[in-house]
Amino acid sequence: MLAPTARRIIGASIAALVLFVFVSPVAAGAGAGTGTWGPRFGLTIEPDQAHAGMQFQAAQITPHVSFLPSFDLGAGDNAITVAGNMDFKYVFSQGPSHWRPYLAGGPGIFFVNVDNHGSNTDVGINLVGGMQTPTQSGLFFGEMRLGLVDEADVKFSVGWMFR
């Protein structure tokens, strides 16, 4: 039997996924460049965890700037974490290669439940640096996320965005 806190985390994650699935088709028609979505996964340092989640390009503000909310569910280091991020992403101009660097950042909310030590919810700021390259169905990316103010210290993630 799952502990009440674990049930709450799983329930909140399922609710976020269901909301994501229903909102995605509506937002996909909202404007040019919106509606791309995809999975992300990787490793987190402090707490030391594996994480998986989803991201969604909610708005293309300029040709280089977009609004990219995401969420991750992490497990390991005797803790379960849920992180929600509201990133603004700047993609640098195309160079001689298909790989394009980007910088991102924004506010995030970080929920952690440590076994036998209770839970805590914090709000913080994220700084992100990464590289992306086009694929036939969207793009592939790799990034490093630095958490400031009571969030996970460092996250290394890879993922895909699908059109």
- Token match 């009440």: residue? 4
| Domain membership of residue 84 as a residue range | 4-162
**pLDDT attached to residue 83:** 93
Please report the sign of the dihedral spanned by the C-alpha atoms of residue 18, residue 20, residue 23, residue 28: negative
pLDDT at residue 47, as a whole number: 86
CA distance 34 to 143: 20
Q: How many domains does the chain have?
A: 1
Backbone angles phi, psi at 79, to 5 degrees: -150, 155
pLDDT score at 95: 66
The CB-based long-range contact list for 133-137 (8 Å cut-off, 24+ gap) reads: 133/98, 133/99, 133/100, 134/98, 135/160, 137/162, 137/163
Q: What distance, in Å, lies between the first and last C-alpha atoms of the chain? A: 39
Q: Residue 34: what pLDDT?
A: 65
Instruction: Kindly give the confidence (pLDDT) of every residue in the chain, 163 residues in length, as a single tens digit, with 9 standing for 90 and above.
Output: 455 555 555 555 554 554 454 444 444 444 445 679 999 999 999 889 999 999 999 999 999 999 999 999 999 999 999 999 999 999 998 767 789 999 999 999 989 898 878 888 989 999 999 999 999 999 999 999 998 876 678 999 999 999 8
Please check whether residue 35 is in contact with residue 59, taking contact to mean a CB–CB distance below 8 angstroms: no
CATH number for the domain harbouring residue 109: 2.40.160.20
What pLDDT score was predicted for residue 8? 55
pLDDT at 32: 43
Q: How many CA atoms lie within 13 A of 16 on its CB side?
A: 19
The Cβ of residue 71 has, within 10 Å, a number of other Cβ atoms equal to 22
| Confidence (pLDDT) at 130 | 97
Q: Which two tokens stand for residue 1?
A: 């039997």
pLDDT at 71: 94
Indicate yes or no: pTM above 0.85.
no
